[in-house]
Amino acid sequence: MWAFIHKLGSPKWFYAISARLSPWFWAAAVLLILAGGAWGLAFAPADYQQGNSFRIIYVHVPAAFLAQSVFVAMAAAGFVFMVWKIKLADMAAAVMAPLGAGMTFVALFSGAVWGVPTWGTWWQWDARLTSMLILLFLYVGVIALRGAFASRDSAARAASVLAMVGVINIPIIKYSVEWWYTLHQPATFSVTSRPAMPMEMWLPLLIMVLGFYCFFIAVTLMRTRSEILRRESSKRWVRELIGEGR
Amino acid sequence: MARAEPRRNAADMAPIGEPDGGIMVAVRATLRRDLVLLLRGRGEVLNPLVFFALVITLFPIGISPDPELLATIAPGLLWVAALLAALLSLDGLFRGDYEDGSLEQLLLAPQPLPALALAKVAVHWLLTGLPLALMAPVLGIMLSLPAGSYLVLALSLALGSASLSLIGAIGAALTVGLSRGGVLLSLLVLPLYIPVLIFGAGAVQAAIQGAGVSAHLAILGALLAVALIFAPWAIAASLRISING
């Protein structure tokens, strides 16, 4: 077990194993997103209240799921890096941050677009929208902090600490914002009162969520591989590899 | 205990203070030093208070001098302005010590760094958070905050600003080694301040509406307890990163 983890922490070994894994994740991501997208956008029945506009859920919800999961994954990678000094974990954390921020933005943007037909406004200080916005700020903070340090090692450790502090705070922020929202709840329509989703709407959503997760893993593998090449560019195995490619 | 031996000898040669300082000795020394330093340079203590008063002055000018309108937004305004004032003072929390090298001495001290960091944060709260809390009711009068909520305002600010100091110190410790850390510090810290703001301003709102405030204050206390448990370690780790980097 420990030998395996030790091996996994070696960039060279990871580079080899991820080369074999990533095509599978790419294939799964493309298949699932295409299938879920086609099913959800074309074949699932329209919502009786919202009509076709509800179909944005097939982008919005997976993005929102991913936005939160990526932060947790980033903090976990930061924890691994801080405790066991595995550089690979930091490389993964570094490449995850922009992806997570992007997903948070997609969730916010699709939420705003969805808000126009349903709420009649682009923005509503809804509990979930607000906590998503705060999550975006947390991502931006982590990315900015990493960029502010001249030394890569300090940057890595600072970003890890901030990601861990953030991940402790995310549930606190989430619940306090929800509490704040119920206190000030405006007398408008709320999405949560929507009736439970029927199976033919829910299944494509599940497929889309799985597809987005596969996409996230595939992108993280790919970007970690290029990060390995960049950071280990002076190592002999990287030179040999690049020499082969020429 | 093998380590105590040479120390006692050194203390014999130079009989200054305690021969081998425990945590409490070091914490007390840090508290005293920071208090003296801050009280001698009064600007650092007074500037956040002046900033607080100034920002509160801007709102009636920018929005409207109508007392009724001001009264409805006063709890939020007072809390946001106090939060920003506390935030502004954070940049100096470790900056001076970093520049003159005494922060490195703090890191080298045999006593645990989280305890010393906690002492520094305590001084920061004592000279920033507490004065802001005491001053807020005066500004509340100027914003025609309804009577009966002044005590709650001061209490919630006193409790909440302790959490603000603790959380903010993490950001201050992370950015102290950077030459232009000011804006970055706000970017890191403000999202983490939101729960405190929600319950702090909520307590004042509840007091105005005549609802019970103990729940809000209890949650503020709970946030403070969580911050007290985690923040000193995060501050210590961040200080080590900033010094070694």
Q: pLDDT tens, B192-227?
A: 999 999 999 999 999 988 888 899 999 999 999 999
Mean pLDDT of the region A46-64: 81
Task: Please report the pLDDT score of residue A244 as a whole number.
Answer: 66
Answer left, alpha or beta for residue A45, where phi above 0 means left and psi between -120 and 50 means alpha: beta
Closest partner residue to B187 (CB to CB) among A140, A154, A165 is A140
- Beta carbons within 8 Å of A218's beta carbon, 6+ residues apart: A22, A25, A26, A28, A29
Residues of A in contact with B198 (CB under 8 A): 176-177, 179-180
**Are the beta carbons of A165 and B234 separated by less than 8 Å?**
yes
- E strands within A7-93? none
Rounded CA separation A73/B210 (Å): 44
Task: Please report the pLDDT score of residue A2 as a whole number.
Answer: 67
Kindly tell me if the per-residue pLDDT of A164 is higher than 90.
Answer: yes
Closest partner residue to B194 (CB to CB) among A134, A154, A164 is A134
**Are the beta carbons of B226 and A183 separated by less than 8 Å?**
no
**Are the beta carbons of B175 and A148 separated by less than 8 Å?**
yes
CA B201 to chain centre: 18
Residues of B in contact with A149 (CB under 8 A): 177-178, 245
- Beta carbons within 8 Å of B38's beta carbon, 6+ residues apart: B44, B45, B123, B127
In this prediction, what percent of chain A has a pLDDT beyond 90? 39
State yes or no: ipTM above 0.90: no
What number of C-beta contacts closer than 8 Å exist between A and B?
79
Interface test with B, best of A85, A131, A153, A154 (most B CBs within 10 A): A154
Task: Please report the pLDDT score of residue B113 as a whole number.
Answer: 92
Residues of B in contact with A82 (CB under 8 A): 237
List, as own/partner pairs, every contact residues A192-195 make where C-beta atoms lie below 8 angstroms and the sequence separation is at least 24, other chains included: A194/A47, A194/A49
Closest partner residue to A145 (CB to CB) among B174, B198, B237 is B174
- Chain B neighbours among A 137-166 (CB < 8 Å)? 137-138, 140-141, 144-145, 148-151, 153-155, 157-158, 161-162, 164-166
Closest partner residue to B191 (CB to CB) among A137, A151, A179 is A137
Residues of B in contact with A183 (CB under 8 A): 202
Answer left, alpha or beta for residue B53, where phi above 0 means left and psi between -120 and 50 means alpha: alpha
Residue A186's nearest CA partner among A235, A136, A120, A133 is: A120
| Residues paired with A47 in a beta bridge | A51
**Are the beta carbons of B187 and A161 separated by less than 8 Å?**
no
Residue B234's nearest CA partner among B164, B173, B163, B165 is: B173
Q: How far is A65 from chain B (nearest CA, A)?
A: 20
Closest partner residue to B202 (CB to CB) among A144, A155, A180 is A180
Residue A213's nearest CA partner among A75, A25, A15, A36 is: A25
Interface test with B, best of A160, A172, A174, A185 (most B CBs within 10 A): A172
For the stretch B7-57, pLDDT in tens is: 444 445 444 554 466 888 888 988 999 899 888 877 788 899 999 999 999
**Are the beta carbons of A145 and B184 separated by less than 8 Å?**
yes
Rounded CA separation A175/B50 (Å): 34
Q: How far is B11 from chain A (nearest CA, A)?
A: 37
Question: Which single residue is written with the structure tokens 């007074």?
Answer: B46
Closest partner residue to B191 (CB to CB) among A141, A164, A183 is A141
Instruction: List the domain boundaries for chain A.
Output: 20-43+51-187+200-244
Residues of B in contact with A147 (CB under 8 A): none
- Beta carbons within 8 Å of A50's beta carbon, 6+ residues apart: A117, A118
- Chain B neighbours among A 97-126 (CB < 8 Å)? none
B189, B90 contact by CB (below 8 A): yes
Question: Rounded to 5, what percent of chain A is helix, strand, coil?
Answer: 85, 0, 15
Q: Grade residue A193 by pLDDT with cuts at 50, 70 and 90.
A: very low
- Give me the amino acid identity at A190: S
For the stretch A80-113, pLDDT in tens is: 999 888 888 999 999 999 999 999 999 999 988 8
What is the chain B residue with the closest CA to A135? B191
Residues of A in contact with B184 (CB under 8 A): 141, 144-145, 148
Q: Grade residue A186 by pLDDT with cuts at 50, 70 and 90.
A: low
Task: Please report the pLDDT score of residue A189 as a whole number.
Answer: 44
Closest partner residue to B241 (CB to CB) among A138, A157, A172 is A157
Rounded CA separation A203/A211 (Å): 12
